[in-house]
Structure 1
Amino acid sequence: MPVHPLISDHAISLSATLAATIGLEEAILLSVLNDAARLQTQPQARLNSDTLRRQVPFWDDSTIVRVLDSLTAKGLLQLHGPAFTQAAGIVFSFGNAPTPQIAPERNTSPAQSVTVQRVAAQPQSKPQPTRPAPMPEQWQPSEEAVQRLEQHGIPRAFSFSQLDAFILQGQEQGSNRNDWNTRFFRFIKNQWVYAQNDAGRFRRQQERTGFQPTQEEAQPITGDWQPSSDALQILQRAGIDPQ
């Protein structure tokens, strides 16, 4: 069976138990850092900032910094040297403080045992989440979000051409969110896939019919003009009410 066109990136292995214990975002980032450290032999692992961004393209830099701080506060991570946004990479370790020894269960790997011990040693209190806010009327995506879209081959002009549709969708839905940049990144990626599919279908139609538009065929708009079904379909995909 063909795979879904939107699922083409690598998968992040994630423990459901770990996510339920320390939080979903913390479990995702800890898994990414653990995979990077597993390939290194020195006590303090290193990870390039751009590589980390590519591993979690659904987050902007502020979200990465927030989750790193959360892992540090929980005692699950130690950062050495400059902060994430102040250097070309981060240097980290999984803590040097002694932790209570907990006998691992059968068929539990050493890496899993270390994770269980560190999680069990942490207090059960959880940080209070930031209250979500509605989308501002003049909302603009962050530069980091636009640059990550460019890294995925999506031109900056295309991203901003879809900005009004994204804002309209957010305001019509009346959502209160803290991750508008993440939602914008996903929205633009979806619209880019739709646009590429529509462009390919139009090219194939031209090849079959041999139709080549010319300037002589251009006509002024009339009073009874209606948008085409393709245009309406693209707008509906953007979340705009057909009415």
Structure 2
Amino acid sequence: MGDYSIHFSANLARSHGLEQAIAFAVMQQFQAFRQNKNGWILISDDDWTSKLPFWTIETIHSSLNQLRVQGLIEIHQAGNTLNPKCLYRIVKKTSTSGLPIVNSIPPQASGNRNAIGTGNTTGNTNNTNLQQNPTFSRSGPMPEQWHPDPHVIQQLTRLGIPENFIQEAIPEFVTYWKESGKHAISWGAKFQERVRKLWMEHETKVASNKIPAPITKEWQPSQDARDILIRDGIDPEFIKDSVAEFLLYWMERGSAEITWNNKFVSHIRHQWQKFCSTIEHSTNPTRIPKNWQPSPECFDIARMAQIDVEFVKEQIKPFVLYWSDSNQTSTSWNTKFVQHLKWSWAKRHQLDNIGQSVSHEKGSAHHQSGHTANQSFIERHQDTSWADEL
């Protein structure tokens, strides 16, 4: 079979899963030339695998059963053991829930041998098989060595469920259904529903045992939170620089939260989006101009970070002087200035163990007043530790 494209709904993939969206799109292709007057479509396993050669038949069955559970399609068993097939019908939008799979032919199909029109004599032969074998079913008992397909585990992990949690649920699931002796069309779908329910119960229990608490100056985002943000394409240095402003903002408000990591992730995503949309990046690195001034967007970002406007203005001249004397180039002086602001603001408020590290240690204190004044003047004009990490 030649190469071809499958066009599926992005909205359906987001709301019901990628596999379900692809299977639904293929069913719509079959619907275009196989649907009978009552809306039923006769599709065999061979038909499915010819259209979806990159999936196993078990994966296809699981996706179809998920569509049924989600109320998007109806399924009726048909065919025989040598040529397994089903009757499918896409549920109209007015329907509110999926119908259960039944091991019988719907009246619309059984009452008319030509109800399933395929356009050739094969369609009539198939209908004969439908009437001779109305009780064929693909369902079966729980296998002895059952294990969920990789795509089932992948779908669960996309929901944020840890893989070790999924693996721990398998033995109990298998034991329960083996002892019950019941049959099922798709054990993968049943397992998926069971694990999702267990995870919701687990999260509810964990949340109920946690007590909201205010943030402390020692707080740092977890590595998981950092990894999530880095996977979103956010610069690790931007994440690191933003901890200080996050702490300052919430410490001043005294709010209590169960998990500060979630709030931090949301805050950084918002800040990064604002940062990327307002700061222009040049493709050619240049030296900083003598009369350089930060863009208005820098002041906007500073206000969002609760940095005093007067403090921002105070930082401009020493910033320009340092980088002008260093003869270094940059593609965005606005970016460096924003990073410098966050570091300097955190240093002024003396937030321990956050922000950028200071590489220059202060010398020992002197008791002479004249010497102290001179040292203060020298330190004020030679301390460039704020630029070390830029």
TM-score, scaled to structure 2: 0.30
Q: Which has the higher helix share?
A: 2
TM-score, scaled to structure 1: 0.45
Larger RCO, structure (CA 8 Å, separation 6 or more): 1
